Structure 1
Amino acid sequence: MREVEIYCRNTHMTHTYPMGTSLLEISKDLNIKLHNQVCGAIVNHQVKELSFCVVKPKHIEFIDFTHPDGVRMYIRSLVFVLYAAVKEVFPHVAFKVQNGISNGYFCELQGLEREISDSDIFSIKQEMNALIEADIPFVKKGIITSHAVDLLAKQGLEDKAQLFEQQGRMYSYLYFLNDLGDYFYGNLLPSTGYISNYGLVPYFDGLLLQVPRRKHFKKLHKVVYNDKLFEIFQEQKDWAEILNVSTIGSLNDFALQNRSGDIIKISEALHEKKIAEIANQISARGNGTKVVLVAGPSASGKTTFSKRLGVQLAVNGMRPYQVSLDDYFVDREHTPKDERGEYDFEALEAIDIEFFNHQLIALFEGKEVRLPKFDFHSGKRMENGRTLKLEKDDILIVEGIHGMNPGLLTDVKEQNTFKIFISALTQISVDEHTHISTADNRLLRRMIRDSRYRGYRAADTIKRWPSVRKGEEKNIFPYQENADIMFNSATIYELAVLKKYAEPILKTVLENQPEYTESTRLLEFLSYFKPISDVEIPPTSLLREFLGGSSFAY
């Protein structure tokens, strides 16, 4: 019998196995012990299920729930089990995963036509637990695409069926849990028995599927009612209904019919209307509002939003002045460091709070101040020669990640501020059971901008992204509900536009680079979109901040 050689990163050793040995068999033979149960593996920097059989020499790293791809495998499998349970308890109800919120996933039972009761949740959980205890395997089968489309349609999964039809493939893969078929963008766990912790609770008018904490698997995240965030998610849902686009499949239909221009025009008009409404709210407050704070995570479009808001405030007779919190960084040698000893530019302490507040108070008192400019090359703050003095109808727009943090404005009264939180909350889903992560949307934006304007490769952006996300979770998202209003900078059409720009950049990541795992995942994700041209995107669009062609100066 022929044998193949594998290098296991977990054991730091080379091992030999008969050709066709599965990853599950190898993990058991090597007695791989991780923080949690082994759920998959990274094989030559590609994610594989434990059923994958080795027939060539491979570089293998077994992963568990502490790995981002292990988390994704767990969540997909958990959603499948929840879908199967809902299908059993409520055969005629459509189960849909809408968006991520409160460190979980908001789900709807469409067609229930009444409020979800505690007994409903008890029945669903009881069915889920029975499926988990039975340890039923998730079976992946390749079948003729037309048969897969028919099967999905019969189960009421019209969005999945539509996407399968559009791909134009002879054969497609479906996962089966007993006789129930489904498809997920990515890999699953070997069986239902691998799911050992989850939660299911009422949340607004639906359900919140709770998942374990990544570093403390036996604990679930605390349920937080993000009222303002949920409201903006509902607004995006309304916008999707206005455009009749809620999934990749329905967006693809517009592209295939050469009607993408309609989507672009309406999406941009909805943005302009919303920004005008926010400007009207600020104006209605009168001269008491001295400073508008605009905050949000990386690649959310804060800069362009601030400029467009300034235009709308000017329409209302106000004179806006733009200020960036980045110019108030402390000198490099005074920047705090993280636990790895690296500069933590996203910590609040990286901002000279005292100096920032001193200048604000001086401006509010009618004094003239010399505005600073931070030189990122030298790591020093200096004067840029620009002075500012606020008159009666003047207003400051301050853009920076810490705008919602109560520790930023130590000397400014709350009634003198208006806070806006901005993020790119993706408005469409892949299908009924697969939402699109807002973080993926922002990563693609940032990758394109980094490549076009900062000289960074895709691998560089991907490598930095976990650190960026960690900073956001610590310094930005905990304060988002402090906003007076939230704004969604994403557009329904944008991922189909980003596809053309992102794919060539992602393909520069080589197989021997660790970032290949993520680039491959993103390329697979983008493959579902039919491309949309950016020709009709106006020069004032928030998307132009990343693609280029903006009429604003940055």
Structure 2
Amino acid sequence: MSIINICINNVNREYYLEEGSSGIVLENIVKDIESEYKGYITLANINNKLRELSYKVKEDCNIKFIDTTNADGSRVYSRTMSFIFIMACNELFDKARVTIEHSLSRGLYCEVHTNTKLQDFDLKNIKNKMQDIIDKNYKIEKISTTKSNAIKIFEEHGMYEKAELLRYKEHDDVKIYKCNNYINHFYGHMLPSTGYIKTFDLKQYENGVILLGPSESDKTKAKEYVPQPKLANIYKEAEEWAKVIDVDKVITLNKIIENNQYGEVIRTVEALHEKKLSQIADMIKEKKKRVVLIAAPSSSGKTSFANRLCIHLKVNGLNPVSISLDDYFLNREDTPLDEFGKYDFESIYAIDLEKFNSDLKSLLDGKEVNLPKFNFKTGKREENYKKLKIKENQPIILEGIHGLNPILTSSIHDEDKFKIYISALTQINLDDYNRIPTTDLRLIRRMVRDHNSRGYSAKHTIMNWD
């Protein structure tokens, strides 16, 4: 018998390894400490490498367990929960196509493609079947195989899009998952067995189902369903756009690129976007709005959208003026800190609200204002960067993550404001069961922007990304 020293969250613990044992399974360690965590533990960071809970520890190491309150941990839970949902639907609806579409109302919007709309009793049956699969605690086995063999397996199971997509994979090693004779591939880590899904719920929504995982505040309760009709309509519109350009999955886009036909796709999407911008510009002119507020999650394209909207407003006879909220940042040393002691650049109080509101009101009153400019490389605001005075036909365009927060423009009457929310929504998925999270797309955009305009490395961006 030997002893393995494991440091878990800066606390040293000793574990005994039996003679001939291949290691200590992380699952066994989790049983001792899970009560200390706010969420369900789903993953482990061992010496800076992510490991599934089925991983065996063979030597001294540092472990940081990851739970469902963390983005990576939540994704592991969601993938496993989705696998169980797919299994349940396959058993209840013979040969029906099941798709995991996109995030919506704090959960995942899924569809079961049957001849009739899902009824209340269908939802109840799915939930009961999922619970049955969970109660039986089927093992979710990770199988390493070659790319060619994985393609063969997926073709045998009718997963042709997944098989086609694998042909583009550079490395030959493929990880697939098997659970009670069901085979699938989720492009990410999974939980060791179905019994790890302790909290879930289903809510019927239009033609589909919203799959809800555990709440961040109380893991024993499912997330509260919050209707988001406007966002749902935007997703529908995005799906219609996908039909117009005839691109519904990544594999379709890959083939278009291979055949050198991507130019037409880009031009069509640009035309659709320009049409939408034109409609918005018409509304702004018709309602005689003086301040246009554009809000979005970080790295969603707010600045690009604002610049293009300005062009459409000019076509309508207006002469818009853009003001960047970034230029009203407090000097870096005055920026508020988050709970971890890091600069919280995304807090609304990182903005000099008093000066911003004073300048904005003065501009609307017809006064001349000296605008500042923030230098991201020095972390200092440069005052009196340029003078500005506007006329009646000059709406002010403001873009930033806090654009819709009433605190930002507290000095301005609501009737003068036109509010816009944009987001870089992903409208194509990898396959029927795997979506591309919008946060991944925004992170890539942020890395490029931070490198080009703010002097930050990719590592810095990733380290500061929520």
State the TM-score, normalizing by the size of structure 2.
Answer: 0.89
Equivalent residue for 2:71?
68
Distance in 1 separating the partners of 2:322 and 2:27: 60
The answer to whether the 8 A contact 2:177-2:183 is kept is yes
The answer to whether the 8 A contact 1:7-1:13 is kept is yes
1:367 deviates by: 3.2
Distance in 1 separating the partners of 2:230 and 2:335: 33
Deviations 1:19-51 (A, max 9, x none): 622533662797776415543322332222222
The answer to whether the 8 A contact 1:22-1:50 is kept is no
Distance in 2 separating the partners of 1:290 and 1:92: 55
Equivalent residue for 2:80?
77
Distance in 2 separating the partners of 1:348 and 1:283: 29
Distance in 2 separating the partners of 1:378 and 1:46: 33
1:189 deviates by: 0.6
Q: Which moved more, 1:356-365 or 1:306-315?
A: 356-365
Is 1:411 paired with 2:414?
no
Equivalent residue for 1:289?
289
Equivalent residue for 1:494?
none
Q: Which moved more, 1:23-32 or 1:216-225?
A: 23-32
Which amino acid in structure 2 is aligned with residue 387 of structure 1? L
In the TM superposition, 1:342-381 aligns within 5 A as 342-374=342-374, 377=378, 379-380=380-381
Equivalent residue for 1:320?
320
Equivalent residue for 1:451?
451
Is 1:137 paired with 2:139?
yes
The answer to whether the 8 A contact 1:429-1:436 is kept is yes
Which amino acid in structure 1 is aligned with residue 207 of structure 2? D
Deviations 1:442-479 (A, max 9, x none): 1111112223333322221111112xxxxxxxxxxxxx
In the TM superposition, 1:420-439 aligns within 5 A as 420-439=420-439
Which amino acid in structure 1 is aligned with residue 239 of structure 2? K
* CA gap 1:370/1:450 in 2 versus in 1, 3 angstroms: closer
1:356 deviates by: 3.3
Equivalent residue for 1:8?
7
Picking from 90, 109, 112, the partner of 1:109 is: 112
Q: Secondary structure at the match of 1:108?
A: strand
Distance in 1 separating the partners of 2:34 and 2:401: 41
Deviations 1:288-329 (A, max 9, x none): 211111111221111121111111111121101111123334
Equivalent residue for 1:392?
392
How many residues align? The count is 461
Which amino acid in structure 2 is aligned with residue 350 of structure 1? A
State the TM-score, normalizing by the size of structure 1.
Answer: 0.76
Equivalent residue for 2:384?
383
In the TM superposition, 1:114-193 aligns within 5 A as 114-143=116-145, 145-167=147-169, 172-193=174-195
Q: Secondary structure at the match of 2:320?
A: strand
Deviations 1:183-218 (A, max 9, x none): 111111110011100110012332111111234311
The answer to whether the 8 A contact 1:297-1:401 is kept is yes
Structure 2 stretches lacking a partner, 5+ long: none
* CA gap 1:413/1:95 in 2 versus in 1, 3 angstroms: same
Equivalent residue for 2:52?
49
1:251 deviates by: 1.7
Which amino acid in structure 1 is aligned with residue 233 of structure 2? E
The answer to whether the 8 A contact 1:34-1:64 is kept is no
Q: Which moved more, 1:265-274 or 1:347-356?
A: 347-356
Equivalent residue for 1:272?
274
* CA gap 1:137/1:276 in 2 versus in 1, 3 angstroms: same
Equivalent residue for 2:23?
21
The answer to whether the 8 A contact 1:100-1:106 is kept is yes
Distance in 2 separating the partners of 1:25 and 1:135: 14
The answer to whether the 8 A contact 2:101-2:429 is kept is yes
Deviations 1:47-79 (A, max 9, x none): 222223456765443433344332221111000
* CA gap 1:23/1:261 in 2 versus in 1, 3 angstroms: farther
The answer to whether the 8 A contact 1:131-1:192 is kept is yes
Distance in 2 separating the partners of 1:256 and 1:345: 41
The answer to whether the 8 A contact 2:127-2:202 is kept is yes
Equivalent residue for 2:261?
259
* CA gap 1:125/1:30 in 2 versus in 1, 3 angstroms: closer
Distance in 2 separating the partners of 1:242 and 1:462: 35
The answer to whether the 8 A contact 1:94-1:156 is kept is no
Deviations 1:60-117 (A, max 9, x none): 434333443322211110000000011111123211111112221111122x233322
* CA gap 1:16/1:355 in 2 versus in 1, 3 angstroms: same
Which amino acid in structure 2 is aligned with residue 77 of structure 1? T
The answer to whether the 8 A contact 2:290-2:416 is kept is yes
Distance in 2 separating the partners of 1:219 and 1:352: 39
* CA gap 1:25/1:124 in 2 versus in 1, 3 angstroms: closer
Distance in 2 separating the partners of 1:106 and 1:331: 42
Q: Secondary structure at the match of 2:430?
A: strand
Distance in 2 separating the partners of 1:31 and 1:363: 58
Distance in 2 separating the partners of 1:29 and 1:108: 35
Is 1:204 paired with 2:197?
no
Distance in 2 separating the partners of 1:63 and 1:411: 44
Distance in 2 separating the partners of 1:203 and 1:105: 11
The answer to whether the 8 A contact 1:7-1:58 is kept is yes
Which amino acid in structure 2 is aligned with residue 323 of structure 1? I
Q: Secondary structure at the match of 1:322?
A: strand
* CA gap 1:294/1:67 in 2 versus in 1, 3 angstroms: closer
The answer to whether the 8 A contact 2:327-2:381 is kept is no
Q: Secondary structure at the match of 1:310?
A: helix
Q: Give percent identity, aligned residues only.
A: 37
Distance in 2 separating the partners of 1:242 and 1:289: 33
The answer to whether the 8 A contact 1:34-1:63 is kept is no
